[in-house]
Structure 1
């Protein structure tokens, strides 16, 4: 089970990289729109996050409050990305909110013990 958890964690980090990297690339290009990397990153984050929240470890699971917080943030990011993906441009505040929520979700994962 540890191997499965590590594979899910690896894929989860790839999703984070796609989401954040795709967002930064779009932000630096000055054309704020949702690209495919951001969409796939959000999808990967939600799917692997659900897999990682399953009780695969022997008593070493994160707290339910942390899991719910991360799930809510990840679903919010996914909804914001999914429903904005076909727009020619996204409002600056909306786009920055996606990037900030992505960083907040990573901060919750790292700093909440």
Structure 2
């Protein structure tokens, strides 16, 4: 189980790295790269799978932490999908919001104790 959790964690981190890198490199002019949507979906699915695998392995989870990360991940994914479908109306605020929420998600993962 721990090997599977490690693999899912790496996939999850790569997904968020794609989102953060894709948004920071496309702030000027503002646009949502295709990789941002794929990275957000990858990170979201890998995170959900990690929770499921951890539950199956009998690990104790902080469900408030899981809920905060899930909500932030869902918002980032929704904003990325919205921005990808409406390319002509993407603003710097939308792209910056995705980047900021991604950094918030990373901070919650690292700093929440």
Structures share fold, TM-score greater than 0.5: yes
Length-normalised TM-score, structure 2? 0.91
Which structure 2 residue ranges, 5 or more long, are not aligned? none
Per-residue CA deviation, residues 35-90 of structure 1 (Å, 9 max, x unaligned), is 0111111111110010111214443x330000000000000000000111031351
Length-normalised TM-score, structure 1? 0.91
State the secondary structure of the residue aligned to 1:34: coil
**1: CA distance between counterparts of 2:67 and 2:109?**
12
8 Å Cα contact 1:42-1:77 kept in structure 2: yes
**Does 2:61 align with 1:62?**
yes
**2: CA distance between counterparts of 1:88 and 1:58?**
47
Residue 53 (structure 1) aligns with: 51
8 Å Cα contact 1:32-1:91 kept in structure 2: yes
Higher fraction of helix: 2
> After TM superposition, which residue ranges in structure 1, 4 or more long, deviate above 6 angstroms?
none
Which structure 1 residue ranges, 5 or more long, are not aligned? none
Residue 88 (structure 2) aligns with: 88
8 Å Cα contact 1:5-1:56 kept in structure 2: no
Residue 97 (structure 2) aligns with: 97
8 Å Cα contact 1:31-1:89 kept in structure 2: no
